Structure 1
Amino acid sequence: MTRIGTDIKFVEGVTHFGEPLETLREVAALGLEGVNVRTLDEIAPTLDRAFLTDFAQLAVELDLYVEMGVGKVNPFMTAELPRVRDLGEGSYLAGMERLLATCAEFGWTETWTAVGGYKPHPGIFFTDRFRTDAAWEDQLVAIERFLHRLAPVLRDTGVRLNLETHEEITTFELLRLIESVGDDVLGVCLDPANLPVRAEVPRDAIARIAPYVRTTQLRDAALWRTPAGLSRFIAPCGEGVMDWPAVLDLLLQHNPGLNLTIEPIGRVRAEMALHTSDPTWRAGHPDLTDAALGELYALAQAYEARAERGDTETIAQLRAPRPDTDLVTFLLACADHLRAVLAQLPATAAVGSSELTEGVPA
């Protein structure tokens, strides 16, 4: 049964909705059917079993699916995740193994991870792909080796790591990692809004990875032509450039029970630039073809035409700050659109029966 839920990020133990147990109650009150907790150590820094048992039991009582995330797998950025090293008493590898074993203990076997993180730096330096202390090719080699070191515990526990289509990596590179390490232990967490950041046409990229997509963080993408090249903004599902009927139909053909988890966003629309005229940027995308780049420009032009007609947001609106409550508005808009699309797909007749409630949680 396909269910719709939300990605949850905890900062100092709380979310937009409150502490962990209250967050589960608020998610259920919205009529959603599950959560993807970004990282296990956010809600349980010491992996406290009593607390995790309460969390898991409440999710069962509320009939919510739970997907859990663990640390990232790029050895060049593990210093950014000291809690994982603490769990391993100085060993990042041991910390990851503890996280994975804990996930297995609670039945959270499809786990999230990524190979990089957003950096608040200008130009091309907002991703680990263009860090200058380690070439991206060297990072990919280190990532592959680290994943091979994790593979034994993944096989022993029955847990799979699902690598996000994050803003620093392409689907071509994800597939090479899966081929090397094994699709029994590696899959894909699809965030379609990130695909254009790496100059990938969403339709083509999703078709490449669809057989391996085990988890999702769904939202749409708006594209706009700029002096630098292109800008990608995050938009609610149905308001950007994605063909959602085609996307969901393809995903559910390969994985009929796939949970459709939404990754909502609040105050900003997270503009990320594609510096298409920068030779360094272009050389950093060896799998990119001129034809694919042309298709992205065409998608941007079509989106701009919609904005000119008043059918979607202009670049000024996309760049404008939003009130905090917009996170829930964004989440509900995505869920409404996904449910409407699912209702039109014969192969997904057995979708969740929950109805979305009006408004925001008290």
Structure 2
Amino acid sequence: MIGLGTYAFFWQHSDLVDEPLSLVGAFEATKALGVDLFQICDYAPLEAMDDHELADADAAARDLGLTIELGTKGIEPPRLARFLDLAGLFGATLVRSMLYSPETRPSLTEAEEWLRAALPAYEASGIDLALETYEQVATTDLVALIERIGSPRLGVCLDPANVVARLERPRDCVEQTAPHVKNVHVKDFAFARQPGWVGFTYGGAAMGEGLHDYPHLLETVRPRERGVNEVVEHWLSWQGDAETTIRTEREWTRTTIEYLRSHS
């Protein structure tokens, strides 16, 4: 299933615009684009919501017919327990996370201990935990950790754009993680020369215009055949003013949805 995530609304949610988009507003915008999945990922206001606000958000998603996934950073057992509770509230069947949080950087041994402590509750609830590929942890280490633990509920959130920052090739990341992928983050990426031709900037691109070999990902991972959701997000830099930035963000979202629908 194609979905949108909060990173597809990064600037629309931000304080740099006159009227930041609410979570429910993002739900409504998602449905208006004919998309039925939304991933609330690294969305700080979620953790500050009280029970009444959470119930309202859940009711809004259900009224719109949206399937919800959740995302956080970190694998401390209390954090994972909290997001398991939130998943139960929203009827989510997947929580995406990363090994490190802003406050914690466990060793691989500590990470294994924490995950082994948290996973029985996920297994009992039938909820998947998907750890994202990113530059702070080698893909080989992430895959080895998942394989050592061997839980059917533990897998990968595949985002091959992230690993370039540790000089890994996106195609290699896709191939190494393919058997374990439970979620895909969809965005294109490219290098651009800096002014004066002194180095490069690595950032986002409109889907289909960058370096991401998405057909290779589809062929290797087979997300549609396996029921793995593809969640749209962007690496869009500020475009100089709010109006241009928001317009471009919305255009990139439409472009990515059209791209995914055309590559079936």
Q: State how 1:129-140 maps to structure 2 within 5 Å.
A: 139-140=107-108
State how far apart, in whole Å, the 1-side matches of 2:145 and 2:221 are.
20
Aligned residue for 1:297? none
Query: Is 1:265–1:330's contact at 8 Å kept on the other side of the alignment?
Result: no
User: Measured at CA, do residues 38 and 253 of structure 1 come closer, stay the same or move farther in structure 2, by a change above 3 Å?
Assistant: closer
Counterpart of 1:69 (choices 68, 71, 91) is 71
The secondary structure found in structure 2 opposite 1:187 is: strand
State how far apart, in whole Å, the 1-side matches of 2:73 and 2:223 are.
30
State how far apart, in whole Å, the 2-side matches of 1:328 and 1:109 are.
32
Query: Is 2:112–2:149's contact at 8 Å kept on the other side of the alignment?
Result: yes
User: Measured at CA, do residues 328 and 62 of structure 1 come closer, stay the same or move farther in structure 2, by a change above 3 Å?
Assistant: farther
Aligned residue for 1:267? 237
The secondary structure found in structure 2 opposite 1:5 is: strand
Letter in 1 for 2:77: L
Shift of 1:328: 5.2
The answer to whether residue 6 in structure 2 is matched with residue 4 in structure 1 is: no
What root-mean-square deviation, in Å, do the aligned CA atoms of Structure 1 and Structure 2 show? 3.4
Letter in 2 for 1:216: V
The secondary structure found in structure 2 opposite 1:238 is: coil
Query: Is 2:189–2:210's contact at 8 Å kept on the other side of the alignment?
Result: yes
User: Measured at CA, do residues 95 and 209 of structure 1 come closer, stay the same or move farther in structure 2, by a change above 3 Å?
Assistant: closer
Aligned residue for 1:15? 13
User: Measured at CA, do residues 222 and 187 of structure 1 come closer, stay the same or move farther in structure 2, by a change above 3 Å?
Assistant: same
Query: Is 1:56–1:106's contact at 8 Å kept on the other side of the alignment?
Result: yes
Letter in 1 for 2:23: P
Q: Structure 2 unaligned runs (5+)?
A: 15-19
Aligned residue for 1:190? 158
State how far apart, in whole Å, the 2-side matches of 1:329 and 1:206 are.
28
State how far apart, in whole Å, the 1-side matches of 2:50 and 2:126 are.
19
User: Measured at CA, do residues 9 and 237 of structure 1 come closer, stay the same or move farther in structure 2, by a change above 3 Å?
Assistant: closer
In the superposition, the TM-score normalised over structure 2's length comes to: 0.79
Q: Structure 1 unaligned runs (5+)?
A: 74-91, 120-127, 129-133, 269-320, 346-362
The answer to whether residue 131 in structure 2 is matched with residue 163 in structure 1 is: yes
User: Measured at CA, do residues 341 and 160 of structure 1 come closer, stay the same or move farther in structure 2, by a change above 3 Å?
Assistant: closer
Give the count of matched residue pairs.
255
Aligned residue for 1:248? 218
User: Measured at CA, do residues 229 and 186 of structure 1 come closer, stay the same or move farther in structure 2, by a change above 3 Å?
Assistant: farther
Query: Is 1:8–1:15's contact at 8 Å kept on the other side of the alignment?
Result: no
User: Measured at CA, do residues 248 and 339 of structure 1 come closer, stay the same or move farther in structure 2, by a change above 3 Å?
Assistant: farther
Counterpart of 1:340 (choices 248, 252, 259) is 259
User: Measured at CA, do residues 219 and 323 of structure 1 come closer, stay the same or move farther in structure 2, by a change above 3 Å?
Assistant: farther
State how far apart, in whole Å, the 2-side matches of 1:102 and 1:240 are.
35
Letter in 2 for 1:259: N
